[in-house]
Structure 1
Amino acid sequence: MAGLASSVSGDWRENKLYKGIFAVSGIMVTLVTYGVLQEKIMRVPYGVDKEYFKYSLFLVFCNRITTTAVSAGSLLASKKKLTPAAPIYKYCVVSVTNILTTTCQYEALKYVSFPVQTLAKCAKMIPVMIWGTIIMQKRYLGHDYFLAFLVTLGCSIFILYPAGPDISPYGRGRENTSWGAFLMIVYLGFDGFTSTFQDKLFKGYDMEIHNQIFYVTFCSCVLSLTGLILQGNLVPAVEFVYRHNDCFFDVALLSTVATLSQFFISYTIRTFGALTFATIMTTRQLVSIMLSCAWFAHPLSLEQWFGAVIVFGSLYTKSFLKKAPQKTPSPEPVQSEGSNVKSIP
């Protein structure tokens, strides 16, 4: 019996290793590419007339309609059920907060640099803890609050001590930075609620990955398209990408990697859990900041480097201090296809 248990445990670890390589590679490639593209679209002018793309909600719509089409095709190809696992209005709640989250993320890039935005995202653990306490009645330990404080301190140092004035096409100075910081605060609040509500939703229903993604993104398509029409921005956005073929390519590639990233995110959280996902995302954010600084020539002050060390050091410490749950020598850890998942970052 001991030999059988050891063999099962060894096979499970080897299987986890291959799955881990697949998950890390997929998230890193798609989300790092996504980060570079979103900064290019929102902050780099197009054409000889140096025209800037201003339609954030159009990017959300393109991302979601691509994801909806791919997830629908996956469901039809696999002949899995199309019926929703939860009431539609619950998918709509996730869609609304996710649209607000993504829109604030794009809008913030008009006023703050990508490194500032990316590092600020690391502070999402604070709203997640707040919403987790309110919605899920979770309890957090003292070191969780201390690490959250360190992350907030590092983010504050990074934002308050730039190497120089940020060159934004939409404004300059402290007022510009303050508005960008406000958008990031709103982003963090909605993002924390979205992930926590998804956690509560997926623990209450048996959802398959493609089914869940399809209904959330379909709701997002309808809502974002409605918003574009009401704002009168649908036609101008289409005309912009029609005039600038390179912008059309960037938007198409952004939608593609955004769609792929959502499947990798869902797969990672379902297979390894939120803690491993958070560690991978921390690494991705660090790589994205370094790549953005090199590609778009963002200077970093000594204080910003210090703030970044505090933030990423705290996040990695949180991951390493987290004790892994004790596993029994049974083939139970591999989750089934209907396991609880979270997606749509």
Structure 2
Amino acid sequence: MAEPLPTADGVKENKLWKWVFAVSGILITLVIYGVLQEKIMRVPYGVNKEYFKYSLFLVFCNRITTSAVSAGSLVASKKALDPVAPVYKYCLVSVTNILTTTCQYEALKYVSFPVQTLAKCAKMIPVMIWGTFIMQKKYKGFDYLVAFLVTLGCSIFILFPAGTDFSPYGKGRENTVWGISLMVGYLGFDGFTSTFQDKLFKGYDMEIHNQIFYTTLCSCVLSLTGLIFQGHLLLAVDFVYRHNDCFLDIVLLSTVATASQFFISYTIRTFGALTFAAIMTTRQLVSIMLSCIWFGHPLSWEQWIGAIIVFGSLYSKTFWKKVSPAPTPPQQTENGSSSPLKGIP
């Protein structure tokens, strides 16, 4: 006997609970992640006020946790662990992703978390550039307008700080030039990573956990190799051994970073890239406000204007596409959000 079809109310209620699950999961994990990464990189530990300086060690911890969880998911679901694409393609994604995350952590030594978070909003510009070269994508005039407004808002936010925001790695005022250079590197590498992942995912019949597993496994090997060659592995281990609170912070950071990836993958697959973009914009806004309150970052009135321009533009882009009479197919997103590793911290 055939099972009764679900009612319209039941479908709506089920979708609502899925939406609540996705939104709360992404916001909680990534907001906690943002607070923790600023605490680890900018707040001293112990009575001697020592700063944790080993960014690549954080990358290694994050990736080995994610790799283990994704491998467990593949085994539990009885899916093949064999690579679907050539291994060198996973490695290429891993290299640029490691560079992306390292630039992100290093930038926090020189610029405040609100500056870094708002600068991340400008990632659509390098994604559009890489998308043109790698995917031969075409963009509308409205997309370029939004990209310009986001860049303008970010520039205002960075150029008009409210007084001095202390950096443990700069003399007096933050070393903004080097910090912004690291953020430019972050945006460039992140744009390439997400675009190439998008192409990789479309070119192969690839399961989400398969790509996550092999990409993060390559990242583990590469980041561990980098730590050994830099001579930082034992120094980082010694630091966390002497500072238990730092060890706990890194464990929690790796946990929420891993959890966020699966929430991101779930959201993109269930609701599409536009909903994901709106959630991520909200997350960035919440993270900036929480950081300003938690760590006492002052904001000038010019920075408030810059933030309004940025987030107003991003929300306008999201809602404009939702009401567009001819929406872009989900698999052809021009911001690269269809990649399951788009938001990998």
TM-score, length-normalised on structure 2? 0.91
Assess, with a 3 A threshold, how the Cα gap between structure 1 residues 209 and 325 changes in structure 2: closer, same or farther: farther
Match of 1:330 in 2: none
Distance 2:342 2:217 in 1: 12
Does the CA-based 8 Å contact 1:68-1:213 persist in structure 2?
A: yes
Does the CA-based 8 Å contact 1:128-1:193 persist in structure 2?
A: yes
Instruction: Give, in angstroms, the shift of residue 158 of structure 1.
Output: 0.3
Does the CA-based 8 Å contact 2:64-2:220 persist in structure 1?
A: yes
Distance 2:42 2:268 in 1: 32
- Say yes or no: does 1:141 pair with 2:151: no
Match of 1:182 in 2: 181
Match of 1:243 in 2: 242
Assess, with a 3 A threshold, how the Cα gap between structure 1 residues 325 and 208 changes in structure 2: closer, same or farther: farther
Match of 2:99 in 1: 100
Aligned counterparts, 1:20-31, within 5 A = 20-31=19-30
Match of 1:124 in 2: 123
Match of 2:340 in 1: 342
Q: Which runs of 5+ in 2 are unaligned?
A: 331-337
- Say yes or no: does 1:50 pair with 2:79: no
Structure 1 stretch 9-18 or stretch 253-262: which is displaced more? 9-18
Secondary structure of residue in 2 paired with 1:164: coil
Deviations, residues 229-271 of structure 1 (Å, cap 9, x unaligned) = 0100000000000000000000000000001011111111222
Does the CA-based 8 Å contact 2:153-2:306 persist in structure 1?
A: yes
Structure 1 stretch 169-178 or stretch 96-105: which is displaced more? 169-178
Assess, with a 3 A threshold, how the Cα gap between structure 1 residues 344 and 66 changes in structure 2: closer, same or farther: farther
Count of residues paired in the alignment: 330
Which amino acid in the other structure matches residue 199 of structure 1? D
Distance 1:325 1:65 in 2: 41
Q: Which runs of 5+ in 1 are unaligned?
A: 328-332, 334-339
Structure 1 stretch 89-98 or stretch 166-175: which is displaced more? 166-175
Secondary structure of residue in 1 paired with 2:283: helix
Which amino acid in the other structure matches residue 341 of structure 2? S
Which amino acid in the other structure matches residue 32 of structure 2? T
Match of 2:110 in 1: 111
Does the CA-based 8 Å contact 1:111-1:168 persist in structure 2?
A: yes
Secondary structure of residue in 2 paired with 1:278: helix
Distance 1:344 1:159 in 2: 25
Instruction: Give, in angstroms, the shift of residue 275 of structure 1.
Output: 1.9
TM-score, length-normalised on structure 1? 0.91
Match of 1:209 in 2: 208
Aligned counterparts, 1:304-319, within 5 A = 304-319=303-318
Deviations, residues 132-179 of structure 1 (Å, cap 9, x unaligned) = 111111111111101110000000000000001220000036771110
Match of 1:80 in 2: 79
